[in-house]
Structure 1
């Protein structure tokens, strides 16, 4: 639900990702999935197609 125009700073990207993760804390699942990418919020592990 967010859009960043190029060029953008890595600090801005990090802040927005952190905000999205905070917003999702009330979600029932601790996993965020987008295509082949999965992020486990509880374990702080990201995988692509199940591989680290």
Structure 2
């Protein structure tokens, strides 16, 4: 069963993932491939706190 990540107005998970992914030079297709093999924290070398940080505005 697939899990769905829900974001809120104050926690833009998708944007956080995009920002981290781009900073590491990982493309979208490569990210999906790596996620299927390793999981998001290992691929992006980050923490859940970084992924779930709130908007700064």
Q: Answer whether TM exceeds 0.5 for this pair.
A: no
**Greater RCO, 1 or 2 (C-alpha within 8 Å, sep 6+):** 2
Larger gyration radius, structure 1 or structure 2: 1
Comparing both structures, which one devotes a greater share of its residues to strand?
A: 1
Report the TM-score when normalising by structure 2: 0.30
